[in-house]
Chains A and B, each alone.
Chain A
Amino acid sequence: MLEALSLAYRYTKQHPWIFKNLDLCIAPGEIVGMSGASGLGKTTLAKVLSGYLPPARGNIVIDGRSLPNSGPCPVQLLFQHPELAVNPRWKISKILGEAGEPGIRLLQDLGIKKMWYDRYPHELSGGELQRICIARALSETTRYLICDEITSMLDALSQAHIWKIISGLADSRKLGLLVISHHATLLAKVCSRKVKYFETEKSLPVQTEK
């Protein structure tokens, strides 16, 4: 169980709180959808949950233990723009191996082809590169995945293909997923539970819808 306990974040002490008193939990195998207006800090929350930013207050706890300070993080983040999440001067083979060699089975599931290995990121399409990022994020130690608008710039076919893979993996590997998206129909199809992100100083910024 991934739990955020009264989490709060602000960039510096001079800046206003982006979120405060935020509680959220994701069980293994559960797919939680999150929506909310733009500019309220959903992406910042994703970065805090996956350990990219330290929370100003509160804790992130996995099965009663806080996030490890070293080694691979069990919570991995997938970004909206995969081309900005990879080193543009590395070949795909090096990018894939960044967090340990992914298993052959996973590569097959994702439809990653051997012929891509010798290419650079700009020589793949957005959908192909997003699949590379998924493979890189899903190492043995990954147990929770945060998907921040990962298909908003892809066409319907690539979008459906990526979600099919991810929901399949969530099921088979008992991954817990937090899916951030503006697309209500998408969330309704993919997620088992939905939460709404609010901007509020006092109350809980996250409310469960059903």
Chain B
Amino acid sequence: MTLELYVNRNTSMLNICNLSIWFSSYTIGLRYQETRVIRDLDLSLQSGQVMAVIGQSGAGKSLLTGAILGILPRNARIKGRIYFKGELLDQGKLRRLRGREIALIPQSVTSLNPLLRIGVQIARAAQLGGIEKKEVKTTVHRTFERYNLQPTVADSFPFQLSGGMAHRALTATATVGTADLILADEPTSGLDPSTAHEALAHLRELADTGKAVLLITHDVEMALNIADLVAVFCEGTTVEVTDAKHFVGIDKLRHPYTRKLWNALPANGFLKSDISPLSFSGASGCPFHSSCEKKETICSERFPSLQATDQGWVRCHYA
């Protein structure tokens, strides 16, 4: 069901086609003139869905949120199209949408303004997020209750909060408004399990009311509790998009990288699995081919396209 929805791209909340991002060498790597960090990425998300984005660190997961919001640094060059509710996004539209219809839960708690009290920050986010002025106070109050933040927190500065509280405050700024698309960048890292569960359950609730949630995470097991779809990232591209239900064993996972990742989870093979460090090849061919067991000559020559299978979408010549 969810996968059929994935195919139907015109009705989607978020639709990313062939997105590539390059960085000029001044910030990344001294050797290259330009480094490609995201490559031919395709992604589609419907309202009511939670999509978990997992994969290698440094695969460009956080950059993707920057690209969707149009807040990448100046030395980034972007190619490809991003549609939000069927409309092609450009800088002008983004300025109108960001914070109002597309909200971000940032990864780092340093994203809170260090000089503003928490209550003021959340109220401002609510106002920008489309809550009417006279309702701001009650909405903020409700949000505080929902995230178990004591009323005294409203008068605190970010440095006075613990990591977990600051994380909840950040989530509050993103969800207090009426945004339809929520980009959550590792909202649970560093939280203890019960707090993390609560945060994710709330994202699920939001999705159930018709919003769409893009959940970037390393905690695969926890994300599977609430996600409908799982997108697996490797070297700046989606190598597999599949139903979260398929993440129960290795049989239904098609891409060799996804299988490797699954095997390395603490609950599965972990230390016993084959975990030689991966090496990735840049220019042409499949990004995973130098670490792949099933590789053939074509893998090093041609970049595989994302193709539909009965289990989802996979980017592999031999899946």
Contacts and interface: CB of A to CB of B under 8 A. Distances in A.
Interface in B121-153: none
Nearest to A154: B57
Nearest to A110: B277
Contact of A160 (B58, B59, B164, B275): B275
A36 B57 CA distance: 26
Contacts of A99: none
A133 B162 CA distance: 26
B190 A80 contact: yes
A152 B218 contact: yes
B283 interface: no
Interface on chain B toward A: helix, strand, loop, or mixed SS? loop
A115 to B, nearest CB: 10
Interface in B250-300: 260-262, 264-267, 269-271, 273, 275-278
Contacts of B264: 156-157, 159-161
Interface stretch (A20-28, A66-74, A122-130): A122-130
Contacts of A149: 190
A64 interface: no
A173 interface: no
Given A155-B54, A156-B220, A157-B260, A189 B189 contact: no
Contact of B277 (A38, A119, A156, A161): A161
Contacts of B276: 161
A163 B270 contact: yes
Contacts of A155: 54-57, 59, 218, 261
Contacts of A153: 57, 186, 189, 218
Interface in B142-181: 162-165
B195 interface: yes
Contact of B195 (A37, A125, A156): A37
Contacts of A167: 271
Nearest to A80: B190
Contact of A125 (B58, B162, B219, B271): B58
A143 B219 CA distance: 31
Interface residues of A, number: 35
Contacts of B54: 155
Nearest to B161: A39
A13 B277 CA distance: 48
A59 interface: no
A183 B186 CA distance: 15
Residue in A111, A160, A163 with the greatest tally of chain B CB atoms within 10 Å:
A160
Contacts of B219: 183
A182 B192 contact: yes
B30 interface: yes
A127 B28 contact: no
Contact of A38 (B163, B220, B260): B163
B29 interface: yes
A85 to B, nearest CB: 16
Contacts of B273: 160
A111 B270 contact: no
Contacts of A119: 30
Contact of A189 (B162, B260, B266): B266
B195 A38 contact: yes
A126 B186 CA distance: 15
A91 B7 CA distance: 47
A95 B266 CA distance: 30
Nearest to B194: A37
Nearest to B260: A157
A12 interface: no
Contacts of A122: 28
Given A119-B30, A160-B270, A163-B270, 11 more contacts: A38-B191, A39-B165, A80-B190, A152-B190, A155-B55, A158-B56, A158-B277, A160-B264, A182-B196, A189-B270, A189-B271
| 8 cross-chain pairs, A with B, having the tightest CB-CB distances, nearest first | A39-B162, A38-B164, A160-B264, A185-B266, A125-B58, A156-B264, A186-B266, A37-B192
21 contacts: A37-B195, A38-B190, A38-B192, A39-B165, A122-B28, A126-B58, A152-B190, A154-B218, A155-B55, A156-B262, A156-B264, A157-B260, A157-B261, A158-B56, A158-B57, A159-B266, A160-B265, A160-B266, A160-B270, A167-B271, A185-B221
